[in-house]
């Protein structure tokens, strides 16, 4: 394949990906912060496919323990809550005492 | 005997005499140590009905068999006396190095009788106890006293338990401090020490504690090392108790604006979070070296959850020796007061440690005054010009200083919010107190069994007297393939029917009472409840029993351990009955039944009076207490080997 053909294909794929992907802000607290590089201090901008859920976002960052999640003004979001482009998702661990 | 020193020091401050008691082995088997042992001395030596500030009130400081052994979470000591805040039993624990050092100095505990005419301090050095004049220490703050005594005694390794100026002035929430940042905080033990004019107890010794089974002790300790990360306790050590701020926010359980709501704005909650404390205020934050410069520990503990700060607030240096704020302190001076300035909260924590007060009661008293002020019940004229609005950090600090010095309106607040309301004749509708003491920062609206425990607990509302409801919820109880849930420990004490935090039925009461016995034993064994407990801690009930067995050589099962915890709870409750407290004192603040929470996950939640009273009935029935009076029955006391207490009560 010629170089310009490869570049053209790459651009088309990227355009297609851009169309079907969305950005979600995620904030992780406590020990959950450690799943991201330290300098991010628990904050990241995730690229997720449209139609992704809270569960998908948790899987992407590697959280597999029970957590409390909230999205935007919704104070408790279920795992099957469908995310939208530009959403802010926060993830808390449950605290039994302390 | 192994584990124990076998000696209790009795100090009579009225005639300045000292006596060493060597209790029998049977006494140690029967009363174990810590809180239970202290209660025995309180019952036997304090006449019925005396005022908490009467010289005849007895103050006991007690350790236990494992105190001073090389394993995490054992260097704790309980202070017991009659409480000036609750008028029932006072009971409070502190960690640090002082408890272990007392054992190294040759004593399991100190019992203080009478009161001195002039200020004194006590030294216990290598088994030798002496009283000294303390006029030169009176009025001095905690760190000043630390430095003076280190110089005076020529030893930087001494450990000092002391009262600050607030305890001297008998502020009812006066605390006993050690290391200038570890507090026997709740129930006013520091005020009682102040009433006795006992400024400090200095300990120093080199006699190591001998366990009965060193290998078994090492096995438990190694297991703790392996579990540090998987259990989540490594992260607990990293962020400290302050790491709880944001989980509470997420759960709608962060008491804010004097408990009008269970949330702040997310931005405000982030501003007072343990994560921010770690990122910006701890020592070493500037160069990412918090692990070495920003954390402190108690004797032999690998968790290292204590905070060391290095920053400033409005030109006031935040001094490392005064430590950093715990979750409770951040809540009471922060979210309770609608304040998101974490540096101001850290400075408030420093002032409290400098003057020696309970940060929970003190912060909550100021937030009560703020709600009164916001509603025009307390005026600017009364506060001496201080504008006590929510969110006003400068006003909070100013009123705190006035309270610590008992100046102007601060003199009223130094009595605590309940007594202040009585003195002013107003503001009762905004009180958040039980038995005269302010609530800690966990909300019964979202933790229903905790509400019952708050009401029945003998020394007032306490967040460290039972396991909180969420630990018994399905996902956390069960765990996941990647994360160990809480059932591994809860199953050890027979709890295997998880349910939602908002449920309150027979099984939930069973959960609350059973874990209350476990926590009660932790305070009897004098171990840290962040390291030993019933669900999320590093060690569970079986390890607690194993630790006591390894220390003493007296094999103890989990059932026997639970029974000892039950014994302590019943002795406390019997003491309260002796002092006139009844079921009428087992209630929650009216505000929790009247005003629905606003915002967050707990939006609209309000407690139901009928559900709560039914919860109490179930609790009394399961505990074996009279439903009418809330007093343990004779049968219950006899079952706890406390028949002599039933005799004393005339049951």
Secondary structure, 3-state, B304-321: CCEECECEEECCEEECHH
Shortest Cα distance, chain A CAs vs residue B152, angstroms: 38
Minimal Cα distance from A38: which residue of B? B288
CB pair distance less than 8 Å for A76 and B601: yes
CATH number at residue B194: 3.60.9.10
Residues 6+ apart with CB under 8 A from B630: B456, B573, B577, B581, B582, B583, B585, B586, B620
Residue of A nearest to B277 (CA): A30
**From the list B248, B327, B482, which residue is nearest A65 (CB)?**
B482
With contacts defined as CB-CB under 8 Å, which chain A residues touch B600?
75
CATH code (residue B463): 1.10.599.10
Phi-psi region at B81: left, alpha or beta (left = phi > 0; alpha = psi -120 to 50)? beta
Q: Does A75 touch chain B (CB under 8 A)?
A: yes
Domain boundary among B185, B204, B223: B204
One domain, residues B471 and B344: no
Same domain, B372 and B497: no
**How many beta-carbon pairs under 8 angstroms link A with B?**
92
> Which residues of chain B carry a pLDDT beneath 70?
none
Provide the residue ranges of all domains of chain A, joining segments of one domain with +.
Answer: 21-92
Answer yes or no: is B509 within a domain: yes
Q: Same domain for B474 and B428?
A: no
Query: What pLDDT score was predicted for residue A1?
Result: 46
The answer, for A21 touching chain B at a CB cutoff of 8 Å, is no
* Torsion angle defined by CA atoms of residues B396, B400, B403 and B407, in that order, rounded to the nearest 10 degrees: -80
B86 contacts B166 by C-beta, under 8 angstroms: no
CATH of the domain at B264: 1.10.569.10
Q: Which parts of B425-557 fold into alpha helices (H)?
A: 448-456, 474-478, 487-490, 506-525, 541-552
Q: How far is B326 from chain A (nearest CA, A)?
A: 9
Same domain, B300 and B420: yes
Measured between CB atoms, which of A38, A65, A68 is closest to B483?
A65
User: And the tokens for B445?
Assistant: 């609206």
Rounded average pLDDT over A44-57? 95
Do B528 and B497 share a structural domain?
yes
Distance CA B389, CA B396 (A): 9
Q: Is B454 on the interface with A (CB under 8 A)?
A: no
Last residue of a domain, one of B204, B221, B256: B204
Residue B233 domain-assigned (yes or no):
no
Q: Which residues contact B121 (CB under 8 A, 6 or more apart)?
A: B131, B132, B134, B137, B149, B162, B198, B199, B200, B201, B202
Cα distance from B318 to chain A (closest Cα, Å)? Answer: 24
Backbone angles phi, psi at B170, to 5 degrees: 55, 40
> For residue B61, what pLDDT is reported?
98
Q: Looking at the domain assignment, is residue B226 inside a domain?
A: no
The answer to whether the Cβ–Cβ distance between B468 and A97 falls below 8 Å is: yes
Q: Does residue A30 belong to the interface with chain B, where contact is any CB pair within 8 Å?
A: yes
pLDDT for res A18: 56
Of B244, B263, B480, the CB nearest to A98: B244
**Which is nearest to B629 in space by CA: B568, B573, B563?**
B573
> Given B247, B266, B273, which is nearest A95 (Cβ)?
B247
Nearest to B480 among A64, A68, A92 (CB): A64
Find, in chain A, the residue whose alpha carbon is nearest to that of B530. Answer: A98
Is the minimum CB–CB distance between B275 and chain A shorter than 8 Å? Answer: yes
Domain of residue B139 covers 8-204
| Domain-embedded: residue B230 | no
List all residues 6 or more positions away from B45 whose beta carbon is below 8 Å from its beta carbon: B58, B111, B113
Backbone angles phi, psi at B302, to 5 degrees: -90, -5
The interface predicted TM-score of the complex, written ipTM, equals 0.84
Looking at the structure, tell me whether residues B274 and B403 fall in a common domain: yes
* Residue of B250, B475, B502, B530 to mutate when probing chain A, most A C-beta within 10 A: B250
Q: Would you call B502 an interface residue with chain A, using a CB distance cutoff of 8 Å?
A: no
Is B227 within a domain? no
Contact B470 A70 (CB under 8 A): no
Supply the mean pLDDT for chain A.
84
Residue A69, min C-alpha distance to chain B (Å) = 8
Positive or negative torsion for Cα B411, B412, B413, B418: positive
Separation of alpha carbons B254 and B262, rounded Å: 5
Residues B400 and B263 in one domain: yes
B433: helix, coil or strand?
strand
Domain assignment of residue B308, yes or no: yes
Residue whose entry in the numeric block shows the structure tokens 């009762």: B428
Within this chain, do residues B410 and B461 fall inside the same structural domain, yes or no?
Answer: no
Q: Which residues of B touch A68 (CB under 8 A)?
A: 247, 250-251, 601
Domain assignment of residue B476, yes or no: yes
Verify whether the Cβ–Cβ distance B467 to A96 is below 8 Å: yes
Q: Any bridge partners for residue B18, and if so which?
A: B11
Same domain assignment for residues B455 and B424: no
Residues B585 and B484 in one domain: yes
Q: How many domains does chain B have?
A: 3
* Preferred mutation among A35, A55, A74, A97 to probe B, highest tally of B CBs within 10 A: A97
CATH 3.10.20.30 fits A21-92, yes or no: yes
Chain A residue whose CA is closest to B476? A66
Q: Does A37 touch chain B (CB under 8 A)?
A: no
Which of A42, A65, A93 comes nearest B247 by C-beta?
A93
Q: Is A93 on the interface with B (CB under 8 A)?
A: yes
Same-domain check for residues B15 and B66: yes
Chain A CA closest to residue B528: A98
B362 and B494 share a domain?
Answer: no
- Tell me, yes or no, whether B112 lies in a domain: yes
Most confident residue range from A13-17, A19-23, A39-43: A39-43
Residue A5 has pLDDT above 80, yes or no: no
């Amino acid at each position: 394949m010629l170089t310009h053909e490869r570049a053209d294909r790459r651009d088309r794929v990227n355009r297609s990906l851009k169309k079907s992907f969305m950005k979600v802000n995620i904030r992780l607290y406590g020990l959950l912060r450690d799943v991201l590089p330290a300098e991010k201090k628990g904050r990241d901008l995730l690229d997720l496919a449209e139609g992704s859920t809270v569960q998908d976002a948790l899987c992407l960052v590697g959280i597999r323990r029970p957590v409390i999640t909230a999205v935007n003004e919704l104070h408790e979001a279920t795992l099957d809550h469908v995310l939208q482009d530009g959403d802010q998702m926060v993830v808390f661990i449950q605290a039994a005492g302390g | 005997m192994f584990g124990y020193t076998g000696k209790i020091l009795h100090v009579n401050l009225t005639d300045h005499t000292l006596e060493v008691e060597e209790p029998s082995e049977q006494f140690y088997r029967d009363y174990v140590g810590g809180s239970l042992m202290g209660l025995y001395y309180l019952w036997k030596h304090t006449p019925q009905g005396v005022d908490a500030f009467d010289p005849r009130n007895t103050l006991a400081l007690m350790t236990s068999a494992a105190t001073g052994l090389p394993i995490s979470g054992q260097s704790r000591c309980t202070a017991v006396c009659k409480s000036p805040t609750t008028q029932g039993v006072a009971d409070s624990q502190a960690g640090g190095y002082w408890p272990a050092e007392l054992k190294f100095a040759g004593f399991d505990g100190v019992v203080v009788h009478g009161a001195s005419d002039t200020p004194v301090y006590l030294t216990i050095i290598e088994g030798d106890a002496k009283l000294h004049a303390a006029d030169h220490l009176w009025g001095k703050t905690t760190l000043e006293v630390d430095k003076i005594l280190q110089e005076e005694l020529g030893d930087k390794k001494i450990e000092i338990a002391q009262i600050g100026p607030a305890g001297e002035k008998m502020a009812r929430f006066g605390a006993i401090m050690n290391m200038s940042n570890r507090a026997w905080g709740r129930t006013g033990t520091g005020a009682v020490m102040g009433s006795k004019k006992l400024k400090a107890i200095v300990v120093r010794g080199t006699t190591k504690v001998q366990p009965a089974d060193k290998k078994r002790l090492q096995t438990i300790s190694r297991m703790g090392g392996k579990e540090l990360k998987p259990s989540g306790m490594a992260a607990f050590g990293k962020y400290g108790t302050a790491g709880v701020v944001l989980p509470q926010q997420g759960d709608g359980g962060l008491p804010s604006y004097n408990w009008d709501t269970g949330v702040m704005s997310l931005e405000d909650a982030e501003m007072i979070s343990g994560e921010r404390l770690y990122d910006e205020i701890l020592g070493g934050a500037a160069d990412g070296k918090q692990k070495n410069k920003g954390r402190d520990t108690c004797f032999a503990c690998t968790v290292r959850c204590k905070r060391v700060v290095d920053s400033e607030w409005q030109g006031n240096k935040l001094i490392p020796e005064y430590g950093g704020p715990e979750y409770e302190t951040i809540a009471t001076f922060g979210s309770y007061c609608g304040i998101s300035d974490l540096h101001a909260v850290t400075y408030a924590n420093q002032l409290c440690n400098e003057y020696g007060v309970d940060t929970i009661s003190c912060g909550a008293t100021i937030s009560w005054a703020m709600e009164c002020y916001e509603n025009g019940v307390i005026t600017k004229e009364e506060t001496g010009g201080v504008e006590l609005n929510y969110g006003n950090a400068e006003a909070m600090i100013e009123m705190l200083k006035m309270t610590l010095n008992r100046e102007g309106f601060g003199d009223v607040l130094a009595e605590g919010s309940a007594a202040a309301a009585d003195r002013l004749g107003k503001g009762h509708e905004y009180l958040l107190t039980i038995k005269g003491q302010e609530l800690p920062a966990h909300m019964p609206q979202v933790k229903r069994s905790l509400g019952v425990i708050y009401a029945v607990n003998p020394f007032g509302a306490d967040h460290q007297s039972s396991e909180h409801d969420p630990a018994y919820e399905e996902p956390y109880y069960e765990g996941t393939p990647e994360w160990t849930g809480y059932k591994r420990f809860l199953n050890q004490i027979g709890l295997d029917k998880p349910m939602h935090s908002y449920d309150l039925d027979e099984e939930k009461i069973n959960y609350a009472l059973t874990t209350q016995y476990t926590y009660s034993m932790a305070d009897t064994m004098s171990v840290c409840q962040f390291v030993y407990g019933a669900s999320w801690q590093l060690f569970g009930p079986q390890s607690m029993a194993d630790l006591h067995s390894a220390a003493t050589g007296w094999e103890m099962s989990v059932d026997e351990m639970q029974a000892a915890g039950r014994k302590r709870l019943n002795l406390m409750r019997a003491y309260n009955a002796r002092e006139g407290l009844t079921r009428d004192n087992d209630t929650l603040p009216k505000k929790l039944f009247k005003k629905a929470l606003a915002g967050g996950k707990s939006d609209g939640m309000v407690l139901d009076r009928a559900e709560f009273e039914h919860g109490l009935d179930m609790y009394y029935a399961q505990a074996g207490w009279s439903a009418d009076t809330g007093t343990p029955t004779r049968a219950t006391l006899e079952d706890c080997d406390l028949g002599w207490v039933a005799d004393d009560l005339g049951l």
